[in-house]
Structure 1
Amino acid sequence: MTSYQLSAKEDMVEKFLDAAARGDMSQVSILLSHVPSLINQTGYSGWTALMLAARNGHSHVVEKLLSHGCDKFIVNSSSQTAYDVAKFWGHKHIANLLCQTDDGCRRVLQGSDISPQENYFSRETLDRLSGKRTDKAWLEAKQREPDTVYLIFSNLSPMVSTSQEDDGAAVESKLCRFRYEAVKDLLQKPATVLIFLGVEKRKNPSPSSPEEGIREAPAWFAFSTDEDAADLVKRCREKNCSFPKMPNRDLLKLNEEEAGIVAQARSVLAWHGRYSFCPTCGSSTKLEDGGHKRSCLNSECRSLKGVHNTCYPRVDPVVIMLVIHPDGNQCLLGRKKVFPAGMFSCLAGFVEPGETIEDAVRREVEEESGVKVGPVQYVSCQPWPMPSNLMFGCLAVAISTDIKVDENEIEEAQWFTRQQVIDSLFRGASPAFNIPPRQTIAHQLIRHWIGINANL
């Protein structure tokens, strides 16, 4: 009796999967109405009805299964979701259907609880209000308001206060915030460069305090000055104040909210430091638009005629990529001589003029490691204010595996197994192998690969 019941169940599953593969909507609907538990049943190699419908381009069946609440994050024996199957076979309309979730399309191996990736320096806690940058009267009024916040930069580093543990080790840095009365003398100096960052983003005001919703949110400004750094520190009431000496390391100690503000401020101030003179004719320039534009003072300059984007802050695009071995279970990481002992990271390089992100990934990987790359997939990006980069994070699948490093770029590159990477991530760094800190997009790309199906 038990054997007969098992055979009947297996036969029902086979009919259901076959109907989905053929696009027989009527049969799929009938079987689901009688046996709802068929929805996520698997057949050969772990394929579900959703995967089979996606494989054969039956969008109407896919919609039916989705409406019945099927699990679209189930993976087959090849670690593919229904989305992977649809994308591989070129059924873009079905892939789009499978991506329509609140959190976007998440391709996962185990479970569906991986949260969307947010990179350090990426959080926007200020409303930039770019439309207000040309309103000089509004900006001047904002500068004098008592709750306006000012950040002081010296040599492109913001003044911060650092909390410490009992043993003296630094724990976290916090931006030193100043009010207008404390810095107004610095703002009047000719060498000061002032930029408007935006106003604080406000949550919905409480009904019990309507006046809170009426008052405008505090504005934030940042400025750089050539005043002596030691004298500037004396202006702050906080303890342990300083200007970071090693931005690539010290700025990673800020919390995510303040790191995003620094990314904007530092990048724009760095641009001002490089564009004091017009790149077109060499004349002096003046600040405009709340510090987000420089205009040439030479009235005959070509930059004042037509469209010239050199008068706006620059962003330098960089590709950073985790290269995956054809077997899907190894990744390629390299190290530079300046890295701490044992640290390996993703390969990276600048995007050249007239080059796509994908082509830049392929070129840089081959130049640095000798490995050739096929498919490239964009994952996420990260502002990197060192001084003003935007890093495009990608996964890339290798089509060759022999390594021959360009010793001018990196000193070593290796294939690391998934288990080696997991051990480094979750069991702590070893003297022989460790990865960059969590604030870097390299770290997040590696984590992303561990958590998803790496077969692009």
Structure 2
Amino acid sequence: MTSLQLSAKEEMLEKFLDAAARGDLSQVSTLLSNAPSLINQTGHSGWTALMLAARNGHHHVAEKLLLLGCDKFSVNSSSQTAYDIATFWGHRHIAGLLGRAADGCGRILPGADLHPHENYFSRETLDRQSGRRTDKVWLEAKQSDSETVYLLFSNLSPMVRTQQQDGSEAQGDMKLCLFRFEEVKDLLLKPSSVTIFLGIEKTKSPSSSSSSEKAESLSEPPVWFAINTDEDAAALLERCREKNCSFPRSPNRDLLKLSEEEAGVVAQARSVLAWHSRYSFCPTCGGATKMEEGGYKRSCLNSECRSLQGVHNTCYPRVDPVVIMLVIHPDGNQCLLGRKKVFPVGMFSCLAGFVEPGETLEEAVRRETEEESGVTVGPVQYVSCQPWPMPSNLMIGCLAVAVSTDIKVDEKEIEEARWFPRQQVIDSLFRGDRSVFVIPPRQTIAHQLVRHWICMNSNL
């Protein structure tokens, strides 16, 4: 009796797998309604119904199986998932379905209703007032206003002052040096100086209704500009009345010591100034250019240049999109981190890479992950982004779920990559345990992506 029952179960499984392989949606649905447990069972080859549907390009069957809750992360004897199989056989429509399907990845990736996180360099302290950029009269008047604030840059580094206490270097210990018109007016006249309009200080609602405060609220808040000059740095430092002033030599490290408010201003100023330092000549014809619109446009002086005909992105400050991703193991309890040779000892971070022309963010995540680590990625979910003024990148942070786990690093890109268990990450992130690895500083989006993943399903 047991042998007959076993044979009947095996026969039903064979019918189910055969129906999936042939694309017979009606029979697949009927068999599942009678025996729901068939959905994730495998045949002698270790293939599930979803794998067979993916192999033969039956999108409607794969869609139905996903809808009914099949496990798309199951692997066959060759360690292939259904996504791997669909990709190998060129069924892009099914690979896309498996990559974006909410069911099956919801247990690993969070829902879309999480509160967005503000990353370092992201805070908008100033109202950019882009409509004012074409008002030359207003800009010139504000440049000489006694209330106007100037930031001074040398070789794209802002002048700052340090306030160290007991040798500490906590965030906020470094402050921007602020100047007024009389202190920098000679620099505004130098042809080698570049001056850009940053915006107007955002106003705050007064807590009192006194007449003096009402009068003050009616006046326009201070306007901010930034100047980058090639004047001698030592001579520039003498302009500041504050002590302990300097120009940071290692922006990737030193600019992380600013407050959130000042970091956002520097991100805007440094990115635009870096563009001017690299695009003083027309990318279209090679001719000289002039600065316009408060520093947010460069126009070619060659009247015959085609960049003057229509709108061209070569005329405006560029932003380079970079995907940075925390890749999660199919089991949901490990993440993939890599390290470059230039990293501090013991530091591992998220993988990252530039988005290529004509490429979606999701595909950039998949391509860069596979190129750097050899790991194949399925579902991708956007989390948050971060301006990164080194010189002008936008770091687009994502979570991604791996559909393969074997690591084979591209040694030209990174020197090592590893799967780190959740507990090791918690120990490093919250308990300061550096015995296994070190996480990047909290001002980086890589740190925030790791924290985001750890906190998704915990009370940390």
TM-score normalised by L of structure 2: 0.74
What RMSD in Å do the two structures reach over aligned CA positions? 1.9
Paired position in structure 2 for 1:270:
274
Give the conservation status (yes or no) of the 8 Å contact 2:424–2:436: no
Structure-to-structure mapping, 1:373-452, within 5 angstroms: 373-452=377-456
**Match status 1:181 vs 2:182:** yes
CA shift, 1:144, in A, is 1.1
**Match status 1:313 vs 2:313:** no
CA shift, 1:170, in A, is 7.0
Give the conservation status (yes or no) of the 8 Å contact 2:116–2:384: no
Distance in 2 separating the partners of 1:248 and 1:430: 22
**Match status 1:231 vs 2:231:** no
Paired position in structure 1 for 2:26:
none
Distance in 1 separating the partners of 2:413 and 2:315: 32
CA shift, 1:354, in A, is 0.2
Distance in 1 separating the partners of 2:170 and 2:246: 12
Paired position in structure 1 for 2:41:
none
What secondary structure, in the 3-state scheme, does the structure 2 residue paired with 1:164 have? coil
Distance in 2 separating the partners of 1:453 and 1:166: 39
Please tell me the residue identity of whatever aligns with 1:217: P
Distance in 2 separating the partners of 1:400 and 1:145: 61
Paired position in structure 1 for 2:74:
none
Paired position in structure 2 for 1:149:
149
What secondary structure, in the 3-state scheme, does the structure 2 residue paired with 1:183 have? helix
Give the conservation status (yes or no) of the 8 Å contact 1:120–1:440: yes
Which deviations, in whole Å up to 9, do the C-alpha atoms of 1:286-337 show, x marking residues without a partner?
Answer: 0000011000000111000112111000000000000000000000000000
Distance in 1 separating the partners of 2:327 and 2:281: 41
Paired position in structure 2 for 1:347:
351
Paired position in structure 1 for 2:336:
332
CA shift, 1:207, in A, is 2.1
> Which sits farther off after the overlay, 138-147 or 245-254?
138-147
CA shift, 1:429, in A, is 4.1
Which deviations, in whole Å up to 9, do the C-alpha atoms of 1:21-46 show, x marking residues without a partner?
Answer: xxxxxxxxxxxxxxxxxxxxxxxxxx
How many matched pairs?
A: 351
**Match status 1:360 vs 2:364:** yes
Paired position in structure 1 for 2:209:
207
Distance in 2 separating the partners of 1:88 and 1:167: 50
What secondary structure, in the 3-state scheme, does the structure 1 residue paired with 2:187 have? helix
Please tell me the residue identity of whatever aligns with 1:105: D
Find the partner of 2:113 among 92, 100, 105: 105
Residues 323, 166 of structure 1: CA spacing in aligned structure 2 closer, same or farther, 3 A cutoff? same
CA shift, 1:167, in A, is 3.7
Paired position in structure 2 for 1:14:
none
Paired position in structure 2 for 1:138:
138
Paired position in structure 1 for 2:21:
none
**Match status 1:88 vs 2:102:** yes
**Match status 1:245 vs 2:252:** no
Distance in 1 separating the partners of 2:169 and 2:129: 39
What secondary structure, in the 3-state scheme, does the structure 1 residue paired with 2:178 have? coil
Distance in 2 separating the partners of 1:388 and 1:154: 17
What secondary structure, in the 3-state scheme, does the structure 2 residue paired with 1:380 have? strand
What secondary structure, in the 3-state scheme, does the structure 2 residue paired with 1:165 have? coil
Residues 429, 265 of structure 1: CA spacing in aligned structure 2 closer, same or farther, 3 A cutoff? farther
Paired position in structure 1 for 2:199:
198
CA shift, 1:146, in A, is 1.1
Give the conservation status (yes or no) of the 8 Å contact 1:161–1:241: yes
CA shift, 1:166, in A, is 2.5
Distance in 1 separating the partners of 2:413 and 2:278: 25
CA shift, 1:116, in A, is 3.7
Distance in 1 separating the partners of 2:425 and 2:312: 46
Unaligned 5+ residue runs, structure 1?
Answer: 1-54, 57-86, 91-97, 107-114
Paired position in structure 2 for 1:288:
292
Please tell me the residue identity of whatever aligns with 1:195: I
Give the conservation status (yes or no) of the 8 Å contact 1:162–1:170: no
TM-score normalised by L of structure 1: 0.75
Give the conservation status (yes or no) of the 8 Å contact 1:429–1:435: no
What secondary structure, in the 3-state scheme, does the structure 1 residue paired with 2:163 have? strand
Give the conservation status (yes or no) of the 8 Å contact 1:119–1:381: yes
Paired position in structure 2 for 1:121:
121
Residues 429, 229 of structure 1: CA spacing in aligned structure 2 closer, same or farther, 3 A cutoff? farther
Give the conservation status (yes or no) of the 8 Å contact 1:196–1:291: yes
Distance in 1 separating the partners of 2:433 and 2:288: 50
Paired position in structure 2 for 1:37:
none
Distance in 1 separating the partners of 2:384 and 2:395: 9
Give the conservation status (yes or no) of the 8 Å contact 1:370–1:403: yes
Distance in 1 separating the partners of 2:215 and 2:241: 30
Distance in 2 separating the partners of 1:169 and 1:348: 28
What secondary structure, in the 3-state scheme, does the structure 2 residue paired with 1:216 have? coil
CA shift, 1:395, in A, is 0.1
Give the conservation status (yes or no) of the 8 Å contact 2:154–2:229: yes
Please tell me the residue identity of whatever aligns with 2:117: Q
Unaligned 5+ residue runs, structure 2?
Answer: 1-66, 69-100, 105-109
CA shift, 1:168, in A, is 6.9
Please tell me the residue identity of whatever aligns with 1:177: L
